[in-house]
Chains A and B, each alone.
Chain A
Amino acid sequence: MAIPVDPTLIREIKRHGAFDVSACFHCGNCSAVCPLSDAQGNFPRRMIRLGQIGDRKRLLDAPDAWLCYYCGECSDTCPREAGPGEYMAAVRRYAIAQAEPTGLAQVMYRSTDALAILTLLLAIVLGAFLVSIKAPAEARQWLFRLVPYETVHNVGIGVGVLATLAMAAGATGVLRRFMAGAGRPTGTAVAAALRRTLAEIATMKRHRNEAASKAGPWSANAAWIHLAIMYGFGGLLLATILDFVFLVILPLHLSTFWPARIIGTLSGAVMMAGVGAAMWRRITRAERSVGQSLAADWWLVAFLFILGITGFWVELAVTLRAAGPVQDIVLLIHAAMAMELVLLTAFTKLAHVVYRPIALFAYYLRAQDAA
């Protein structure tokens, strides 16, 4: 069955950051150096060709793009400077945009202006919404004069539910794509694939092995930075949930420090260390991959950075029992942006926290199938 050629696909992918990929003349040097290239030796060249001929289905059905941690060796080796590594990143952005039906992600990936305006607009709307919610007077005291404590919790739950629903829809879609045509897997196969996926995510071992600069301090290694951000972010999420569970649902009236504050503070510090290192490497263009960051990539780091700063500010205010209009506004910013980040999970780079594990799982599951 002949495959119809569609030139629009590669144009779309190019707009997601693969600016030089048309120069590819299929020499296969990228596949020769790529640690992911299999016996057929087709990755990432295969992905590029599928994009060029416009085979949307096979491009998006393959979990392969998500296996790539962007070590950048292919781009360094490419004799045409076609940027195969950048292309893979663009395919991931394109896949995120394709997995949500609103077109919001696509708009934010294609235009820096749209990204800035939408982000700001949504923050203002969320902020105004938070401020406008009526709350009992006892909830409006001390730091929480502008954004009552309860409001944060209640709206937060709402945001969390919305984001989870959106993400679940996207996740179902991509999982269905990745598993298209595969037989029904056995329980043991699923367990094995899950184990491999979790081990890879938890340790980032493959990423660490592939990172361009294995020597040097942790802050020069993309995998360690990612681990710091990942565990930091996860710790903060955990702290938030614990705080909510202990103080609101149960409520146990435990010490303010244990366990939520201490976990949150430590996690926040770890995340900020990772975010700081990531920003530093982006600013100094330490290696090719971070040097090619788009606004949409910066967006996530910047968000985490602002959330971290405002978060520690609020914590300091709590510790020092300081209050005042500045503290109110910082808290408002922190709350609005945190909600915005969660709300936009399925529409931004953050979606990778779901799609990459799913892709790894599908890949490992199908690899067993093939074997």
Chain B
Amino acid sequence: MTETNTSALNPSGDPIRVGVYVCHCGGNISDIIDTKAVAAELAGHPNVAVSNDYMFMCSDPGQALIIDDIKANHINRVVVAACSPTLHELTFRKALHRAGLNPYLFEHVNIREQASWVHKGDHEGATRKAVRLVAAGVEKVVRQDELFPIKVGVEPHVVVVGGGVAGMSAAVALAGRGLGVTLVEKGVALGGRVADLDRVYPTEERGADLVQDLTRQVGGHSRIDVRLGSEVVGLDGHVGKFAVTVRASSVASEDQDRLVRAGAIVIATGFDHYRPAQGEHGFGESPAVITLPDFQSALRQCPASQTSLQANGRSVRSVAFIHCVGSRQIDGVHAPQADGKVNDYCSRTCCTATLHTIRQVQSRFPDVDVYDLHKDIRTYGRGHEAYYEEASRAGALFFRFPDDEPPTFAASTGGKCAGTITTRDILTWGEELEIPVDLVVLATGMVPRDIASLIDLRKLPVGADRFLQEVHPKLRPVEIGVAGILLAGACQGPMDINEACTAAQTAAVKAAILLANPTIELDPFVAVVDGERCDGCEKCLAECEYKGALTMADLQLAGATVRRAVVNPAMCVGCGACVAACPPRAVNVAGWTLDQFDAMVDAIVAEDVGALAHTECRAGVRHIEFAVISGGN
């Protein structure tokens, strides 16, 4: 992990010539902002050589403007003032690269979301704001270092944690793409929660059959190493080069630990069923109140020849299902969980699972009266609405209880039925109803499994709902903040089998893309320590959240051995916590240096773009390139 730090000038040695391009975004920007005026004002900046506006900078002719200016007008820095950088920053970096310029000598200024869209009523003010934002961009880009992606060598192996349907699907998909897989399962058999299910929606297959099929596929792959009764107890390294310690729980001694080197890790630890609190809808107080998983296993064990539904030694003539038990809880209405929070999320699968179970009851025991008590019905999946439709037409009676008044159950002694549910029903104009029932089934939701020890190994990001949290639910759905660690299935949030397996496939593909080449390229926006300024105070170490990203090392400097902070660029995420802690300003995040921030702030508060100082070829402009990291741990 060496850093080539050429403290020389910009590579060509030419004076800094910035090209500024103000995009109209087809009217999104130019209807509000006077783009010509912005371009004209920026032309007054001493470092700006070209300043233009254009209808669509992201279009091919727009990009050609930049490329032509780089080649013909010797532009060596580019600022595009347009949409959000998440949309087109990469587009323009690639354009710079095609023109032969380092792609990081580019600044993308967002004058759409940050100016035109939010100041529709103030054209003049929006224009003034755009000028200052672009000027700040220019001031930043003239201080920009030449950067190169970090390259990391790759181990073509993946550790999958959890042997349920998601973990098995991921393992099979990964092995099918030529990668080695270690499948670590805590339990004594593969299959997870699905193995407990009778029939699954919407295919009506048996859970056991699904598990058996996947287990066969896993067993048939020579590249998959299944570790049953095992846990991950150690996790070191970084994307491309993880070192995972797997311990068999039957063998307590540490010398039995197995060290697995892997380029990526897929977490598929799944969920737990919510366990109702004592007295929640009568749970634990009466044997007539059971959970949906318990009811499903009872159904599974009930022989097909049996014509009447039995529970607790009595014939069941009526059964009520209560939705949202342990899900969509409301602060102040429901008792908080162990961590003091309520489960305010929707568990998503229970509505369809409940209605699917109701259909099974109706078709096997047509004489049983079925009641369904819900806040809302959310059968969101394709074709799932059919279960509601069929259950309703077959005579299931639906009640809708208010969010803040969950139904209560009282057992009756010696009555005709096991007890009575009392509920307020919105469909009956909020009146209070009493429903005599023999059995109450609580549609319990999903809660995350207790994987605290795994989370602690690498500070895995956990959401407010205690499930593992992805970077972005739509744009990066299976990735987390730690590069190389991917999510598959219900460890991330409530999912049904279909979704969990889809997520597993996605994670497998993501891992396969990561590990497809001998090296991985990472963004170079990581901390860089200036060894000459660093005085070894170690204040930065205390701030660093990422294990292994920042360490102290003895370096030779001007003939003396000194202790200095050293960054592992593969582990650093560029959060900047160390930058803030460093008294001598020795640490900077590449591409986002303190000098750049200072200059940007100065530009924003400056009255006149033309009055900003001309920046010569600065001494600080560097060419930062990291060596390929291949050492591992």
A interface with B by C-beta (< 8 Å): 1-5, 7, 10-11, 20, 22-26, 42, 46, 49, 52-53, 80
Contact status B395-A49, CB under 8 Å: no
Binds A, one of B226-234, B428-436, B514-522, B530-538: B428-436
- Report the Cα distance A11→B395, complex, angstroms: 9
Closest chain-A Cβ to B395's Cβ sits at a distance in Å of: 5
Contact status A49-B427, CB under 8 Å: yes
Known: A7-B369, A7-B397, A53-B428. A22 touches B392 (CB 8 A): yes
**In the assembled complex, B393 has its CB within 8 A of some CB on chain A:** yes
Closest chain-A Cβ to B416's Cβ sits at a distance in Å of: 12
Contact status B434-A22, CB under 8 Å: no
- Report the Cα distance A24→B389, complex, angstroms: 10
Say what secondary structure dominates the interface of chain B: strand
- Report the Cα distance A53→B426, complex, angstroms: 13
Q: Which residue of A lies closest to B371 (CB)?
A: A5
Contact status B427-A26, CB under 8 Å: yes
**In the assembled complex, B318 has its CB within 8 A of some CB on chain A:** yes
Which single member of B392, B427, B433 contacts A23 (CB below 8 Å)? B392
Contact status B389-A23, CB under 8 Å: yes
Contact status A23-B393, CB under 8 Å: yes
Bitwise, B425-450 to A at CB < 8 A (1) or not (0) is: 10111011111100000000000000
Which single member of B318, B369, B392, B436 contacts A4 (CB below 8 Å)? B436
Contact status B392-A2, CB under 8 Å: no
Contact status A5-B389, CB under 8 Å: no
- Report the Cα distance A46→B428, complex, angstroms: 8
Question: B394 contacts which chain A residues (CB < 8 A)?
Answer: 22
Question: B371 contacts which chain A residues (CB < 8 A)?
Answer: 5
What are 21 residue pairs bridging A and B, where the CB atoms are less than 8 Å apart in the complex? A1-B432, A2-B422, A2-B434, A3-B432, A3-B434, A4-B433, A4-B434, A4-B435, A5-B371, A5-B435, A7-B369, A10-B395, A11-B395, A22-B394, A23-B392, A24-B392, A25-B392, A49-B427, A53-B425, A53-B433, A80-B392
Closest chain-A Cβ to B400's Cβ sits at a distance in Å of: 8
**In the assembled complex, B365 has its CB within 8 A of some CB on chain A:** no
B interface with A by C-beta (< 8 Å): 318, 369, 371, 389, 392-398, 422, 425, 427-429, 431-436
Known: A2-B422, A7-B318, A7-B369. A22 touches B393 (CB 8 A): yes
Contact status B428-A49, CB under 8 Å: yes
Contact status B431-A3, CB under 8 Å: yes
Contact status A5-B434, CB under 8 Å: yes
Question: A1 contacts which chain B residues (CB < 8 A)?
Answer: 432
Question: B318 contacts which chain A residues (CB < 8 A)?
Answer: 7
Question: B433 contacts which chain A residues (CB < 8 A)?
Answer: 2-5, 53
Contact status A52-B397, CB under 8 Å: yes
- Report the Cα distance A283→B572, complex, angstroms: 82
- Report the Cα distance A11→B397, complex, angstroms: 11
Question: A2 contacts which chain B residues (CB < 8 A)?
Answer: 422, 432-434
Q: Which residue of B lies closest to A24 (CB)?
A: B392
- Report the Cα distance A143→B398, complex, angstroms: 63
Contact status B427-A5, CB under 8 Å: no
Contact status A25-B432, CB under 8 Å: no
Q: Which residue of B lies closest to A40 (CB)?
A: B429
Closest chain-A Cβ to B307's Cβ sits at a distance in Å of: 19
Contact status A20-B369, CB under 8 Å: no
Closest chain-B Cβ to A76's Cβ sits at a distance in Å of: 19
Closest chain-B Cβ to A238's Cβ sits at a distance in Å of: 47
Q: Which residue of A lies closest to B400 (CB)?
A: A26
Contact status B422-A5, CB under 8 Å: no
- Report the Cα distance A89→B321, complex, angstroms: 32
Q: Which residue of B lies closest to A48 (CB)?
A: B427
Question: A26 contacts which chain B residues (CB < 8 A)?
Answer: 427
Question: A4 contacts which chain B residues (CB < 8 A)?
Answer: 433-436
Closest chain-B Cβ to A331's Cβ sits at a distance in Å of: 50
Closest chain-A Cβ to B407's Cβ sits at a distance in Å of: 12
Question: B392 contacts which chain A residues (CB < 8 A)?
Answer: 22-25, 80
Contact status B436-A22, CB under 8 Å: no
Question: B397 contacts which chain A residues (CB < 8 A)?
Answer: 5, 7, 10, 52-53
Contact status A22-B435, CB under 8 Å: no
Question: A11 contacts which chain B residues (CB < 8 A)?
Answer: 395
Contact status B393-A25, CB under 8 Å: no
Question: A49 contacts which chain B residues (CB < 8 A)?
Answer: 427-428
Question: B396 contacts which chain A residues (CB < 8 A)?
Answer: 22
Closest chain-A Cβ to B150's Cβ sits at a distance in Å of: 57
Contact status B436-A5, CB under 8 Å: yes
- Report the Cα distance A25→B389, complex, angstroms: 9
10 closest A-B pairs by beta carbon, nearest first, are A2-B432, A2-B434, A5-B435, A7-B369, A26-B427, A22-B395, A23-B393, A4-B434, A5-B433, A3-B433
6 further A-B contacts with Cβ under 8 Å, apart from A3-B433, A4-B436, A53-B428, are A2-B432, A4-B435, A5-B436, A10-B397, A22-B394, A23-B389
Closest chain-A Cβ to B317's Cβ sits at a distance in Å of: 10
- Report the Cα distance A99→B546, complex, angstroms: 81
Contact status A20-B393, CB under 8 Å: yes
Closest chain-B Cβ to A362's Cβ sits at a distance in Å of: 22
Closest chain-B Cβ to A8's Cβ sits at a distance in Å of: 9
Question: B432 contacts which chain A residues (CB < 8 A)?
Answer: 1-3
Closest chain-A Cβ to B370's Cβ sits at a distance in Å of: 9
Closest chain-B Cβ to A142's Cβ sits at a distance in Å of: 60
Question: A25 contacts which chain B residues (CB < 8 A)?
Answer: 392, 398
Question: A7 contacts which chain B residues (CB < 8 A)?
Answer: 318, 369, 395, 397
Closest chain-A Cβ to B363's Cβ sits at a distance in Å of: 15
Closest chain-A Cβ to B339's Cβ sits at a distance in Å of: 36
- Report the Cα distance A52→B431, complex, angstroms: 14
Closest chain-B Cβ to A339's Cβ sits at a distance in Å of: 41
Question: B431 contacts which chain A residues (CB < 8 A)?
Answer: 3
Question: B389 contacts which chain A residues (CB < 8 A)?
Answer: 23
Question: A46 contacts which chain B residues (CB < 8 A)?
Answer: 429
- Report the Cα distance A49→B431, complex, angstroms: 12
- Report the Cα distance A49→B433, complex, angstroms: 12
Q: Which residue of A lies closest to B390 (CB)?
A: A23
- Report the Cα distance A80→B431, complex, angstroms: 24
- Report the Cα distance A52→B389, complex, angstroms: 16
Q: Which residue of A lies closest to B431 (CB)?
A: A3
Question: A10 contacts which chain B residues (CB < 8 A)?
Answer: 395, 397
Closest chain-A Cβ to B267's Cβ sits at a distance in Å of: 40
Q: Which residue of A lies closest to B392 (CB)?
A: A23
Question: B398 contacts which chain A residues (CB < 8 A)?
Answer: 25
Q: Which residue of A lies closest to B437 (CB)?
A: A5
- Report the Cα distance A91→B393, complex, angstroms: 19
- Report the Cα distance A26→B389, complex, angstroms: 13
Question: B422 contacts which chain A residues (CB < 8 A)?
Answer: 2
Question: B395 contacts which chain A residues (CB < 8 A)?
Answer: 7, 10-11, 22
Question: B393 contacts which chain A residues (CB < 8 A)?
Answer: 20, 22-23
Closest chain-A Cβ to B322's Cβ sits at a distance in Å of: 14
Q: Which residue of A lies closest to B422 (CB)?
A: A2
Question: A53 contacts which chain B residues (CB < 8 A)?
Answer: 397, 425, 428, 433
Closest chain-B Cβ to A79's Cβ sits at a distance in Å of: 11
- Report the Cα distance A26→B435, complex, angstroms: 19
| Residue in A1, A11, A23 with the greatest tally of chain B CB atoms within 10 Å | A23
- Report the Cα distance A83→B363, complex, angstroms: 24
- Report the Cα distance A10→B370, complex, angstroms: 13
Closest chain-B Cβ to A96's Cβ sits at a distance in Å of: 24
- Report the Cα distance A2→B405, complex, angstroms: 15
- Report the Cα distance A211→B422, complex, angstroms: 42
Closest chain-B Cβ to A2's Cβ sits at a distance in Å of: 4
Closest chain-B Cβ to A47's Cβ sits at a distance in Å of: 12
- Report the Cα distance A26→B433, complex, angstroms: 17
- Report the Cα distance A23→B398, complex, angstroms: 10
Question: A52 contacts which chain B residues (CB < 8 A)?
Answer: 397
Question: B428 contacts which chain A residues (CB < 8 A)?
Answer: 3, 49, 53
| Residue in B318, B396, B428, B436 with the greatest tally of chain A CB atoms within 10 Å | B428
Q: Which residue of A lies closest to B435 (CB)?
A: A5
- Report the Cα distance A23→B318, complex, angstroms: 19
- Report the Cα distance A19→B585, complex, angstroms: 80
Q: Which residue of A lies closest to B317 (CB)?
A: A7
Q: Which residue of A lies closest to B389 (CB)?
A: A23
